[in-house]
Amino acid sequence: MDCSATDHTDEQITNEDFSGRDLSGQSFSNCVFRDCNFTDCNLSYSTFEDCTLISCNFSNSKFANTRLRTVAFQQCKLLGLRFDNCDQLLFEISLEGCKINNCNFSRLKMKGFQIVNCEITECDFKETDLTGASFAGSLFRSTLFHKADLRKASFLQAHGYALDPSANKIKGAKFSVPDVLSLLDYFEIEIK
């Protein structure tokens, strides 16, 4: 990829190492990234529109005012990302089969969000609108949902989530047995 150009359209980018590079202000439209390394990459003020990112590493990448519109992350590593710093206008991503660790999704509008078959560790969803989202098949570890709107969200076949029903909106959400019993943990009751 020619990094001196600022606009990239319909490109297939494979095995590129962007680690530690400054790609701020770049525009990517209808691009596919495969097996690329974005560790410590500055993607601030960049735009990704209708892009697919496959098996890429986004450890500690910077997303200040980054625009993510219809972006699919597949089998990617996402570590330490502040999605809450992204441009929230038309913010639309999907995550499938990703390892997501220590990422912040707080205060984002993510209605219909798809985060399927992912490992989600130590992430924050504070005051996040996740109405109708799907977390199907995902595994949660130490992830915080607080004042999140989870109405009609699907946690079917998801495991390890910890949701306080009194601190989140969960009307119409779907859960699987036996994991749904974890919702009772917050009531400090004994189940035999």
pLDDT, averaged per 10 consecutive residues of the chain (192 residues), comes to 76 97 97 98 98 98 97 98 94 97 97 96 97 97 97 96 94 90 73 70
The C-alpha R_g of the chain, in whole angstroms, comes to 17
pLDDT, residue 4, reads 60
Domains and CATH numbers, the chain: 1-97 (2.160.20.80), 105-192 (2.160.20.80)
Contact between 84 and 107 (Cβ < 8 Å): yes
Contact 69, 50 (CB under 8 A): yes
Q: Report the amino acid identity of residue 108.
A: L
With beta carbons less than 8 A apart as the criterion, state whether 128 and 148 touch: yes
* pLDDT given at position 186: 72
